[in-house]
Each structure stands twice: as C-alpha cells, then as structure tokens.
Amino acid sequence: MLKKALTPIDNAPLVLFRIVFGFLFVCESFGAIATGWVKSNLVDVQMTFSHIYMDWLQPLPGLGMYFYFAFMGLVSIAVMLGYRYRWSMILLTLLWSGVYYMQKTSYNNHYYLMVVICIYMCFLPAHRYASLDVKQGRVKEVLAMPTYSSWILITQIALVYIYGTVAKFYPDWLDGTFVRLMYSSINAPEFFKEIFTEPWFYLTISYLGILYDGLIIPLLLCKRTRTWAVIASLVFHVFNSITLQIGVFPYFALSFALFFYDPEFIREKFLKKKPKMYPGDYSFSIPIWKAVFLSVFMLFQLLLPLRHYIIADDVIWTDEGHRLSWRMMLRSRSGYTYFNVVEKESGKKSQYPLEDKLSSKQRARLTTADMIWQMAQIIKKEYADKGLDVAVYADSWVSINGREYSMFIDDSVDLASVSWSYFGHNEWILPKPF
C-alpha cells in the first residue's frame, strides 16, 4: 500500500486544483465584503458567538475585519499563483480558520470543509508547476506528485458524501417535509415556488438527493460512468447554487472531480503546454511525522461525524454532534429563547435585554443548546463584572421542520453554573417531543 501511495503520477490535477482553490477563496474573501456578510456578522455586532472554548478569538475592532478579509483575499491570490506557496497556504489556513472559529451565527458546513482542505493543502506539493515559486527559482519544477496526494482529497470528499447520505435517512427527509419547507422559503418568483412545493417535485428532489450523495463517488471512480457523473454533478450543483444561494460550495465541490480522472487526461485537456511526466524520472518518500499527522487527521475526520450516535436522544432535536458531521441542509430549526436572571444575594429577578445586545440574526440562532449555554455564560460574566453573582435560566422553545413549538431547555436549571459536554449529552436539554 505504501509503495502504491508513493507511486509518481502527473501533478496536473493538484496544480489545477490549487489555482481553482485559491480563486474560490479570492471570491469568498472579497465577496464577503461586497455582499455585506462581514458587516452584518463581524462589524455591526456587539459580540460574536465563537466556538466553545475559543472565546478568546474575537473580531478585530472598528474596520479591522474589512482589512482582515481584504488581506485574506490577497493571500488567496498568492496561493492561486503559487507565490511563496508554503507560507501563503499556511497563512490562508490560519486566517480562514480564524473566521470559522470566531463566529457561528452564520455556521455553514462548507466553511468547515474549506478549513479541512486548507490543512491538507499545506502538506501537498501543489506549487511545483505553473507557479511563481518555480518561475522565480524558489523551488525546482516537478511534473509529478505521489499518488497519495490524490487519495487524500478523494477520501475526504467521499466522507462528506457518505455521511451526507446516511444523515438523510430520517422521516422528515424521506417524506419530503424538509425539502418542501426549504423550497417554500427560497427567494424565487411565485410561479417557481408553486412548482417547488408540489409533492411530485419535493419528493423527487428528496430522493434524488439521496441517490446523488450515495452514488456520486462510486460513479466518479468508475471510468465508464465518470463523465456522466460529472455532468450530473454540474446540473446538481448549479441548480443548488441558483435556487439555494449557498456561496462557493457548489463550485468547490465540483473542483474535486479533477482527482477522479486520469492525471494524463487532465494534463492534456487543461495544461496543454505541460510536458509529459515519466514515472521512472521520479521517486518519492514521506517523512514519518508527515505520514503520522495525515493518518491521524484522516482518522479524526472519519470518527468525529459519528459522535452523535453515542450521545443520548436524537441529534435532529438536541443538535449535539450536529456540527462538523456533514449533516448538510437537513432540517429547519426555528424558535425563541429568553433569559431570566436571578441575583443570588438579593433574589431580584429580571429578564435579560437580548435586543440591546444581539442582532436579530443572532437572536434567531438561539435555538441550539451550545449557543444558549454560551449566552448564559456571557450573561454571568457581565453581571460578575458588576460584582453580582447570578443564576441564569433559559425559557427556550424550538420547532423542528414546522412542528408545533416545544420547550427545549429545562427552565429550572441554572445554565450559568453547569459545564458544557462536547462529547456527551447535556441533561438540561429536554427530551425530543415528537
């Protein structure tokens, strides 16, 4: 296996992927500024909800986040052009990870996928051809790469689709409930919305979604069906891009098709001036530390999405184990949460003024246990800074996929005094009501 993994193959797919990858990050970085995403999520807010245990990671003050994203866009250009690639790729990984972990009001699975691929790209020789590093003499031009460079990215995207398929086997997906709700809320002319909410349409989309996610990787791996699979992917992702407006993800997902084709085919079609690679001219090895890191990281990617199976109750309701698990666009979650504060010494009770602290979007996201718990900790700290010791209780009601609102959090539990369990069940979440 190791010998096969180190076998030289043409590096055209990886080189082309680096260019596309960098370009998509350019679009993501400058697009976030142009569309107002940075303004609404990181500038015009009093606070952000970072990932738990990463509270130290906060947005830069004033106009700082505009400069942050502009700089990230410039670094992305450097990655695309292969300019000081090792450093620019590491820097892009840190910058994008910072954005991802400092806020989850606009949590999105593909943001996490981009973090994961960034980490892999730090270890892959994507700058050895068609790069400024080669042109300016910083690295020697190489026409080949070890086979594992393709295997890593194929395996990672396969995990995304496999877990995405398994997650869809639950009642509200199988009977079309969620897909109907999703398409009824999109921004489209009324004529199309009427079609999208017809049973024949949303049930077709529901099962095509399962078939696509479950079969796309095997079809791409098979030479006879590969091109048809790419065409199907193009239709699927462009349709999602137009109807669901989910940013660069559809095009990011399409770019992985490069690694399923014979590298020679990619070279001949897209890099016509690239000389032919002869395997006998190259011999690759891999340092032990690098092999260990990549193996452990891949194992982490394999196991992390399974954690919700060992946590009590249904992840659709509790949301525990939902993040980082490729549970993509599976359920509609709505609700509202209020916080009641009790000063322990005086017994004085009051309702915390969320409207004064959070944006409407942030308040709407207070339907998941982690963000509710974090808000309770924020309230506790705010009062502690005033010299007051308080208990914080949540009055939280949640609806899943349009059902009647049900109480989500045990309102007798002081959330300010309980710890967060990342890999276990938080007992103050009430049982699934349906």
Over the stretch 288-323, which tens digit does the pLDDT of each residue have?
999 999 999 999 999 999 999 999 999 999 999 999
What is the structure's pLDDT at 245? 80
Q: Which pLDDT band holds residue 76 (cuts at 50, 70, 90)? A: very high
Q: Can you count the helices (H) and strands (E) in the chain?
A: 20, 6
Tens-digit pLDDT profile for residues 8-49: 999 999 999 999 999 999 999 999 999 999 999 999 999 999
Q: Which pLDDT band holds residue 196 (cuts at 50, 70, 90)? A: confident
Mean pLDDT of 179-198: 85
| Greater model confidence, 246 or 82 | 82
| Greater model confidence, 8 or 194 | 8
Q: Which pLDDT band holds residue 2 (cuts at 50, 70, 90)? A: confident
CA distance 185 to 244: 10
Sorted by sequence, the CB contacts under 8 Å of residue 175 that are 6+ apart come out as: 203, 206
| Greater model confidence, 422 or 376 | 376
Give me 80's structure tokens.
């695309």
What is the structure's pLDDT at 190? 81
What is the structure's pLDDT at 191? 81
Tens-digit pLDDT profile for residues 198-216: 999 999 999 999 999 999 9
Q: What is the mean pLDDT of the chain?
A: 95
Helix (H, G, I), strand (E, B) or coil at 397: strand
Asked if residue 259 lies in contact with residue 17, where contact means CB atoms within 8 angstroms, the answer is yes
CA distance 184 to 142: 51
For the residues of 2-38, what is the DSSP string, one character each? HHHHT-EEE-HHHHHHHHHHHHHHHHHHHHHHHTTHH
Q: Which pTM does this prediction carry?
A: 0.94
